[in-house]
Structure 1
């Protein structure tokens, strides 16, 4: 085993061991996926199924789901509340206008997101609309970016713990402490806060650094609540009995009478329009934790296969020269030897064997005791006259007791068999 092979084996074993350890650490923790999915049907730590159950219990009725066309749902619903919990609501300009109109009628909306879209924030902060007139100007130096990808008015810091305080009159200023967990470990997390000047705005909640975490915006006759740490509303905290008062206060911002839960705005606008690029199989695979892991395992296996099996396992084998058929040359050489020796009888015997073999292979006939029957059948199949076949057999029979033959006798016998070969069908 040479040095290159040893190095390749060591590298391969190291990669495989590291990959196995990674798989065990990430996928053997009670089958939990520690990702912030914000899916209302997910019972994983950072899903929303238990949160939805708490909301239903708080309002004594099931929420209405918005999975198709947010604008139509807001225009037709009788529910006085709208709720979005997710990474970022992907509002178009028309969707933002419909939401502002819905709130202005006296309804309540709560958006809990890590980012707020410019399509909405640009309309709220003094863009010339009626809704914008009730909000203070937004300073671009505070982080406003006119881009669909940028966050609107947020900043963040990292810490293992997050303390939240509500600032409503009449509410006790109790501290709600949260920690971000991955499996059994508390890990540092990016906690967000509103960094804009909040003069004239109602701060509904702040952290222990007095950074605003939740804003209460009055729009027309309704209220819009912006909460910038949606992870606090996921299952891992909803199942904690110590956090039930926190959820009661959060849901108390919503009125009785039903709530619209928005899932439609989590879908990119291009996918809402049916863009096939965003419906590709690979995008779906990478969006699912289990399928994404299987995809990466497949790529790792292919890499290891190329690394070990793609190398040559032996030296290059030189091309062998093709075999040459020399049977005809051999036959000619043997025949010439017999001819030069004058062994004409032996050549006649060889000719007769070849003739009988030809008849047997082509017509399935073998000469037996009944020579006349054999001649009749062979003549019928080969279309050769019986006299020519009988001549061959009789001539050969006359040579049976001979010890030698003359050259002319051998040549005549050869002529008769050759005539048979040429005329047979």
Structure 2
């Protein structure tokens, strides 16, 4: 039989098998709605956004812990914050001693888990104090003691509101060294500060609020930003190790088991095996392998910038570009200095000036220039260039 006919027949069979499984199998959901609290996960209940925000906030003073904390934390550290966000916290006795000594020496510990770390907390307050309980509800309202504003959280699973166990603390009256920092559903405590030696331990019962799904909503991001203001350390130690269970299943995951448990991945695996078999049937006798011609890597960043610039140039809508520059300027202030201006009022200008170390006069000049341009229906390229230069000057001067 002609070799080309065999190759064509094999390709036709492969395509037919693929189309059969593609058309007869149900599409699976795009998102994984399980609570992973994984810093690399961009799924709804991963902590990719929270991790990136904290990492950028602390800049070069950030350390990720991937080994037992007893190997890393020390009482010699000062002005530091230890942070763990996850379903639960798993500590050995040596880890607990290290964490307590770290806190006692004047540092801060921030733990956000669904389950109360009794072994740790009972070292700080009476064992009869602190009982964790829960509310079964689709949504819960959060607020901090320093701010009467309430932030409403609704639990979503598969794009639908579902019942969720919102944890809170009870029976804390007997703890003298404990302060309440936040509530859930008006009067149920979910955020506390326990003084220990020269340091503080903060415990929060609702880590779900730190996940990607909620941090993409600006109104809820404000709640997280206010909560993070309780910590004052300049160095951050982010613990990824202690939120993993000691059970061997966690460290001995079988990738093939997961692939075969997901219909799309399972059929992709079968098709891959089938394709490999086809390959060896028709190409096993090849004496010399094909040497591919590799194209040189190209940097398309400049081409992209030139294309976008050309499109804006063709449109000649300077007013639109000025509005876009202004939006980016406000976004820069929000994310770098945690200031959320609706309008650049004098008091907002003063706050931005203090944090950025840029003169108030420079900021006032930017605001007045934008107000002048915003009043116009059309603006000239000279006006746009002047406005752009003022903004760029601010970026270069800001700290």
- TM-score interval, normalised by the smaller of the two chains: 0.5 to 0.7
* 1:284-311 C-alpha deviation (Å, 9 max, x unpaired): 667x6x664359979xx9xxxxxxxxxx
Counterparts of 1:292-331 in structure 2, within 5 Å, are: 292-293=261-262
The answer for the alignment partner of 1:401 in structure 2 is: none
Residues 203/285 of structure 1: CA separation in 2 closer, same or farther (3 Å cut):
farther
Report the equivalent of 2:135: 157
Verify: 1:236 aligned to 2:213, yes or no. Answer: yes
> Are positions 1:119 and 2:112 aligned together?
no
2:170 maps to which residue?
195
The 5-angstrom pairing of residues 258-407 of structure 1 reads 258-269=235-246, 271=248, 279-282=251-254, 292-293=261-262
Deviation at 1:215, TM superposition (A): 1.0
User: 1:206 Cα deviation (Å)?
Assistant: 0.6
Give the drift of 1:198.
Answer: 3.3
Show the counterpart of 1:184. Answer: 159
The match for 1:46 is: 45
The reply on whether 1:73 has 2:72 as its aligned counterpart is yes
Is the partner of 1:206 in helix, strand or coil? strand
Where does 1:126-165 land on structure 2 (aligned, <5 Å)? 126=126, 138-139=128-129, 153-165=131-143
Matched with 2:62 is: 63
Question: Structure 1 residues 69-78 or 222-231, which shifts more?
Answer: 69-78
- Per the TM alignment, residue 280 of structure 1 is displaced from its structure 2 partner at its CA by 3.6
2:148 corresponds, among 173, 182, 196, to 173
For residues 238-282 of structure 1, the C-alpha deviation after alignment (integer angstroms, 9 at most, x for no partner) is 1111122112112112224121111111223355xxxxx764444
Shift of 1:125: 2.7
Whole-angstrom CA distance in 2 between matches of 1:58 and 1:163:
27
- Structure 2: 5+ residue runs without aligned partners? 1-23, 271-399
Cα deviation 1:120-177 (Å, max 9, x = unaligned): 1332234xxxxxxxxxx525xx7xxxxxxxxxx3111111111011113xxx311111
* Closer/same/farther in 2, CA of residues 35 and 83 from structure 1, 3 Å limit: same
Deviations 1:45-92 (A, max 9, x none): 100111112223433446311001211211275660010000111111
Query: Is the Cα–Cα contact under 8 Å of residues 92 and 269 in structure 1 kept in the other structure?
Result: no
Q: Distance in 1 between matches of 2:88 and 2:133?
A: 15
The 1:278/1:88 distance shift into structure 2, 3 A limit, reads closer
Separation in 1 of the partners of 2:99 and 2:201? 10
Tell me the SS of whatever aligns to 2:181: strand
- Over 3 Å counting, the alpha-carbon distance change for 1:222 and 1:184 in structure 2 is same
**Kept in 2: contact 1:51–1:234 (CA 8 A):** yes
Name the CA distance, whole Å, in 2 between partners of 1:50 and 1:217. 27
Q: 1:125 & 1:205 partners in 2: Cα distance?
A: 19
Q: TM-score, normalised by structure 2?
A: 0.55
SS in 1 for 2:262: helix
1:90–1:267 contact (8 Å) kept in structure 2:
yes
- How far did residue 226 of structure 1 move? 0.6
Where does residue 36 of structure 1 map in the other structure? 35
Query: Secondary structure at the residue paired with 2:82?
Result: strand
- Which residues of structure 1 form unaligned runs of 5+? 1-19, 127-136, 143-152, 272-276, 302-425
Aligned length: 242
The one-character-per-residue Cα deviations of 1:335-389 (angstroms, maximum 9, x if unpaired) are xxxxxxxxxxxxxxxxxxxxxxxxxxxxxxxxxxxxxxxxxxxxxxxxxxxxxxx
